[in-house]
């Protein structure tokens, strides 16, 4: 005689074991993956930002981050730092040019 451990089965004994012959008679309901870790985005459920805003889905989280000018740690790739450096150089160059133009204008002013 062979027994299987099936604690949720209707014919299980007090320890959760079912006779193999009884398993064939009653088809088991297939398990549902409602709480399976492979379902993406479940960790957003019932979450709030530190200011109390609802960020309970990917879209709400993304919109909140964009609205507040925030980003996640995985955005700091090497390409990100290259872009920041390039933006700073461009800003510095633009600021320097504006300063020089302003000074030249003030010199030429009667």
Report pLDDT digits (tens) over 52-67.
888 888 889 989 999 9
Q: Which stretches does DSSP call E strand in the chain?
A: 3-5, 17-19
Domain range holding 64? 44-74
Strand partners, 54: 48
Specify whether the CB–CB gap between 6 and 12 falls below 8 A: yes
* Structural domain count, the chain: 3
Report yes or no on 7 lying in a domain: yes
pTM: 0.39
pLDDT of residue 107: 87
Question: Per-residue confidence of the chain (110 residues) as pLDDT tens digits?
Answer: 888 898 888 888 999 998 888 877 666 677 676 666 666 677 788 888 889 888 888 889 989 999 998 888 877 788 888 888 999 999 898 889 899 988 888 888 76
Structure tokens that stand for 80 in this block: 């990100």
What are 40-55's pLDDT values in tens digits? 677 788 888 889 888 8
Report yes or no on 101 lying in a domain: yes
pLDDT of residue 83: 87
40 vs 14, 48, 56, CA distance in Å? 36, 18, 13
If we measure between CA atoms, which residue out of 8, 2, 44, 40 comes closest to residue 20? 2
Q: Do 109 and 81 have their domain in common?
A: yes
Report yes or no on 91 lying in a domain: yes
Specify whether the CB–CB gap between 49 and 63 falls below 8 A: no
Q: What contacts 18, CB < 8 A, 6 or more positions away? A: 3, 4, 5, 6, 9, 11, 12
């Amino acid at each position: 005689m062979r027994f299987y451990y099936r604690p949720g089965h209707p014919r299980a004994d007090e320890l959760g074991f079912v006779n193999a012959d009884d398993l064939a008679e009653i088809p088991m309901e297939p398990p549902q993956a409602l709480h399976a870790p492979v379902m993406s985005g479940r960790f957003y459920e019932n979450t709030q930002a530190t200011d109390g805003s609802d960020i309970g889905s990917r879209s709400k989280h993304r919109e909140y981050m964009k609205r507040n000018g925030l980003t996640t740690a995985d955005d700091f790739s090497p390409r990100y730092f290259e872009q920041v450096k390039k933006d700073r150089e461009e800003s510095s160059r633009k600021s320097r040019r504006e300063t020089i133009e302003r000074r030249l204008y003030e010199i030429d002013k009667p």
